[in-house]
Amino acid sequence: RPESVKIDAKNLSGSRFSVTLSGLPARVFQHEFDHLEGTLFFERMTEEVLDTIHEGLQALEVKYEKSTGLPSPEKVAIRQRSKAGVGFGKN
C-alpha cells in the first residue's frame, strides 16, 4: 500500500476539503475504504502469500460458523480475486 494518501472529500455541509495521511493513518484509511468497496484483505495478497495463510483463514470461517450457527459470509476458497494492484507481497 502507498505510505501516504491524499483524500479529497466533502463535509456534511457539502464543502470540499483535502487531507493528507501517512503511516498508520494512511494504511487504516485504505483498509476501511476497501471495506466500502467490498474488497477483503486477502484479495490484495499474492497467491504465494495467500497459500501460506489459507488453512488459517478456513479455520476462522469454521470457527465463525460454529460460534454463530450461520454460514460464513465470505469463503476464501470460492472468493474471486479482485484486480487489486497493490497489497501483501505485491509491488
User: Catalytic annotation on 32?
Assistant: yes
In whole angstroms, give the CA distance from residue 26 to residue 53. Answer: 25
d(CA 4, CA 73): 31
Which residue ranges in the chain fall short of pLDDT 50? 82-83, 88-91
| Stated pTM of the model | 0.58
Question: Residue 72's closest CA among 80, 62, 81, 57?
Answer: 62
Amino acid letter for position 74? E
pLDDT at 90: 46
Angle at 71 between CA 42 and CA 33, to 5 degrees: 35
All three cell numbers of 50: 495467500
User: Catalytic: which of 3, 32, 55, 65?
Assistant: 32
Q: What is the pLDDT of residue 47?
A: 84
pLDDT in tens, 57-79: 889 999 999 999 999 887 777 76
Q: Which pLDDT belongs to residue 54?
A: 86
**pLDDT, position 85:** 52
